Amino acid sequence: MDKPQPVSRLDTTVQGLVGLGVERVDGPAKVSGQAIYAAEYRVDDVAYGVLVGAGIGKGKVVSVDVDAVKGLPGVIDVVTDYDTFIRVSQQGGETEAPTQGVKDIEYFGEIVAIVLGDTYEAARDAAIRLPIEYDTGAGVFAFSMDAERDGDLPENNTPAQSAQGDIDAAMDAAPVTVDVTYTTPSQNSAAMEPHASLAMWDGDGALTLYGAYQMPTSDAQQLAKSLGVAASKVRIVSRFIGGGFGSKLGIAPESVAAAVAAKRLGRPVKAVMMRQQVFDVTVRRSNTSQRMRLGAGTDGRLVAIGHETTASNLDTEDYFEPAGISTHFLYAGENRKVSHDLVRVNWLLSGSMRAPGEAVGLIALECAMDELAEKLGIDPIELRLLNEPAEDPEKKVPFSSRSLKAALTQGAERFGWSKRQPAGARREGDWLIGMGVASAARANTLMKSSAKVALHPDGTATVSSAMTDIGTGSYTILTQIAADMLGLPLDRIRMELGDTNHVPAAGSGGSWGAASAGSAVYLAAQTIRQKLAKAMDVDEEELTLKDGQAIARNRSVPIGSLTEGEPIEATGTIDKGKQEELFNQASYGAHFAEVGVNVVTGEIRVRRMLGVFGAGRILNQQTARSQCLGGMTFGIGAALHEELIHDERTGKIVNRDLAEYHIPVNADVPDLDVVFLPERDIHANPIHAKGIGEVGICGAAGAVANAVYNATGIRVRDFPITLDKLM
């Protein structure tokens, strides 16, 4: 993908299915129980594995009294050797391998054994009773900004450090400044479906693992590496996934434990995490402390932008929450500094959770912008419009497409922003009412992905790829793309995803899934179109494919008849090209929130929200809207509810279930309004779409927080904003 492609074939196909709010093609299977999730596969002779987590936060296992439980009814065995001391670096990149044979316990709950039983209940009972003796070590269990920092971090998805001009001098000279620190807590992805694996080895030493993974292709490589077998020996099947939000990007401990145990036993092993284990051992989003410095002239133009983030992680991990990722390019300003460092703590390792970086980074940036607007006496939308950069202010490259201005102005109109009043000025009975705004931005990227399309003689087509659908709608949008490109009705496309036996794909993560897998399907279908044109002896441009017919030069034949009895097959592969260096690529948007704060109780209620987004071609209005609704709901959670509490004596996560870890429930979420701006990104990929999966969370919490300020005149900088902080 090195040349911009001003015309996409999707703009000239005639069925017009792409973009419509087509209902999920996998919906009927899901609501009728025919969609099988990892934990639900049934195989003969299965043993049930229950994980056992360490009861200390730092130290070593001295002994495990296996005999104490082995005689219990239904208990088969306990696997406790160091191969099952599993700490997985869940970033899921192809080069990342889990650490094998970890001998020290680095965080509370780290998996130290798997108990195997003939029933789940027997295994669970033994797992609870299993006596383990520890040698407790000295750990760091509390996050402190006074701790020594790790300033020497490798890049992950943003440079750890960047600087331009002289931020200190610019702050000193600027007539209006904001220098404030925001803190956000650890969070958990809290997907509905707990992590689960069913591991089966065949006689040739090949492993099939039914699991819940966002990126099976790289997950299979990771798993193979951790087991010490060739990647070709591991197949991962993840056909249906009940949410991931980052927690299923890389392999989780239960997969490795199930695979090791299955080999040991010579039986299939199914291991399903308890809800508490999902909190204990799948990655958390790091807590952050973010110092924001903004300096502006009295005209509101920014001259200084500083965003310095301190996050936390284990000593052995280099992942940092890239909170400054969109501060690199969201607003103009000559003097800039973005930095990240880590405090080392013996807490569950931190990793990617939905919109890693922006989700919490835009809380700091967008609340600081709100504070600056207040000091300047300029409307917060006006302040953002004033600081719209002409190009990427750091990289000095153009934006491939950017609808931030339109999102802010059209959103303001639709939301009724003109009715916003000064902080604390609007009261209805016992409720103070406020409005807030925040910009949204999420970097867009392509990840190498393939898809195979087979057009059959009966006029149906099969599309297959190791791409996944984590609940986002991949099955549906890929069906729409294939249907339009091949001129077939939706019900003639068979979509096969989530299996590493298919051609490889990067899967679902980082908002790249739809554009990457979608482009791969597009390219494969484009090759088939060319073959069909050849069969009709015309140029591909002359060919119209529609409702199962191929039409050119007054000839119309059933598409299947052009196959001459043999399927026509093609594989399409997309990869990152130079476009990502030549352009700043991101999805943009604006969030608007209205909240009520009760003057008696301090209770905060979101009354309405609007999100306006520009994300290139919207492939399916309905599934895209659902993604944004989910993101905005995450934003409400980040602003008002979500917070993992670590016990400062052990690092243990105290609120490790959905009763105690508060996420927004229906009563917390009012009607949310989502608007997509008409946009195409011709530089991004052949289908001109950008990511939509995460932009909905980016900035959402900031808009809610700014609305709380506008309602009350109280600026809470320590998230979540709970009622005690307003009293």
List residues with catalytic annotation: 694
Smaller CB separation from ligand MOS, 245 or 583:
245
- For ligand MOS, the binding residues in 624-643 under the rule CB under 6 A are none
**Binding status of residue 246 toward ligand MOS by CB under 6 A:** yes
Per-residue interface string for the shown chain with ligand MOS, residues 377-396, x marking contact by CB under 6 A: --------------------
Ramachandran class of 424: left when φ > 0, alpha when ψ lies in -120 to 50, beta otherwise = left
Smaller CB separation from ligand MOS, 54 or 692:
692
* Binds ligand MOS by CB under 6 A, chosen from 214, 222, 500, 633: 214
Amino acid found at 69: V
Amino acid found at 683: H
**Binding status of residue 509 toward ligand MOS by CB under 6 A:** yes
As given in the structure block, the two tokens for residue 635 are 């934003």
**Binding status of residue 283 toward ligand MOS by CB under 6 A:** no
Smaller CB separation from ligand MOS, 214 or 282:
214
* Binds ligand MOS by CB under 6 A, chosen from 307, 354, 452, 688: 354
**Binding status of residue 350 toward ligand MOS by CB under 6 A:** no
**Binding status of residue 249 toward ligand MOS by CB under 6 A:** yes
**Binding status of residue 572 toward ligand MOS by CB under 6 A:** no
Ramachandran class of 576: left when φ > 0, alpha when ψ lies in -120 to 50, beta otherwise = beta
Measure Cα distances from 660 to 655, 657, 668 in Å: 5, 6, 16
Q: Which span sits near ligand MOS by CB under 6 A: 16-24, 243-251, 606-614, 672-680?
A: 243-251
**Binding status of residue 212 toward ligand MOS by CB under 6 A:** no
Taking the complex as a whole, the smallest distance from the CB of residue 246 to ligand MOS amounts, in Å, to 3
Within 65-172, strands assigned E span: 75-79, 104-105, 111-117, 132-136, 149-150, 161-164
Q: 371, 287, 277: which is closest to 49 by C-alpha?
A: 277
Q: Do residues 204 and 195 make contact, with C-beta atoms less than 8 angstroms apart?
A: no
**Does an H or E element contain 310, and which?**
strand 302-313
Smaller CB separation from ligand MOS, 509 or 611:
509
- Per rule CB under 6 A, count of chain residues that contact ligand MOS: 11
Smaller CB separation from ligand MOS, 321 or 370:
321
Measure Cα distances from 460 to 168, 311, 562, 612, 622 in Å: 64, 51, 12, 37, 25
Sort 658 into a burial class: Cβ within 10 Å, 0-12 / 13-18 / 19+.
middle
Q: 78, 74, 99, 52: which is closest to 254 by C-alpha?
A: 52
As given in the structure block, the two tokens for residue 210 are 């039914």
As given in the structure block, the two tokens for residue 563 are 């196959």
Indicate the DSSP class of residue 538.
S
* Binds ligand MOS by CB under 6 A, chosen from 19, 185, 242, 356: 356
**Binding status of residue 319 toward ligand MOS by CB under 6 A:** no
Distance, in Å, from the CA atom of 85 to the CA atom of 60, rounded to the nearest integer, reads 11
Q: 521, 669, 485, 658: which is closest to 595 by C-alpha?
A: 669
Taking the complex as a whole, the smallest distance from the CB of residue 355 to ligand MOS amounts, in Å, to 7
Go through 474-506 and write b for each residue having 16 or more CB atoms within 10 A of its CB, e for each that does not: bbbbbbbbbbbbbbbebebbebbbbbbebbbbb
Residue nearest to ligand MOS (CB): 246
Using only C-alpha atoms, what is the Rg of the chain? 26
**Binding status of residue 186 toward ligand MOS by CB under 6 A:** no
* Binds ligand MOS by CB under 6 A, chosen from 268, 357, 510, 720: 510
Q: Do residues 410 and 612 make contact, with C-beta atoms less than 8 angstroms apart?
A: yes
Smaller CB separation from ligand MOS, 511 or 563:
511
Smaller CB separation from ligand MOS, 39 or 353:
353
**Binding status of residue 691 toward ligand MOS by CB under 6 A:** no
Taking the complex as a whole, the smallest distance from the CB of residue 354 to ligand MOS amounts, in Å, to 5
* Binds ligand MOS by CB under 6 A, chosen from 141, 182, 213, 245: 245
Taking the complex as a whole, the smallest distance from the CB of residue 588 to ligand MOS amounts, in Å, to 18
Q: Do residues 340 and 311 make contact, with C-beta atoms less than 8 angstroms apart?
A: yes
**Binding status of residue 587 toward ligand MOS by CB under 6 A:** no
Smaller CB separation from ligand MOS, 614 or 630:
630
Smaller CB separation from ligand MOS, 108 or 245:
245
Distance, in Å, from the CA atom of 74 to the CA atom of 118, rounded to the nearest integer, reads 5
Q: Which span sits near ligand MOS by CB under 6 A: 339-347, 350-358, 411-419, 532-540?
A: 350-358
Q: Which span sits near ligand MOS by CB under 6 A: 29-37, 346-354, 396-404, 653-661?
A: 346-354
Smaller CB separation from ligand MOS, 470 or 703:
470
Smaller CB separation from ligand MOS, 244 or 487:
244
**Does an H or E element contain 534, and which?**
helix 513-535
Distance, in Å, from the CA atom of 566 to the CA atom of 457, rounded to the nearest integer, reads 6
Per-residue interface string for the shown chain with ligand MOS, residues 44-73, x marking contact by CB under 6 A: ------------------------------
Q: Which span sits near ligand MOS by CB under 6 A: 241-249, 306-314, 331-339, 601-609?
A: 241-249
Q: 287, 313, 310, 311: which is closest to 185 by C-alpha?
A: 287
In the three-class reduction of DSSP (H, G, I as helix; E, B as strand; rest coil), residue 552 is classed as: strand
Measure Cα distances from 337 to 302, 341, 371 in Å: 13, 13, 19
**Binding status of residue 444 toward ligand MOS by CB under 6 A:** no
**Binding status of residue 244 toward ligand MOS by CB under 6 A:** yes
Distance, in Å, from the CA atom of 490 to the CA atom of 492, rounded to the nearest integer, reads 5
Taking the complex as a whole, the smallest distance from the CB of residue 316 to ligand MOS amounts, in Å, to 21
**Binding status of residue 411 toward ligand MOS by CB under 6 A:** no
* Binds ligand MOS by CB under 6 A, chosen from 352, 450, 584, 627: 352
Contact residues for ligand MOS (CB under 6 A)? 214, 244-246, 249, 352-354, 356, 509-510
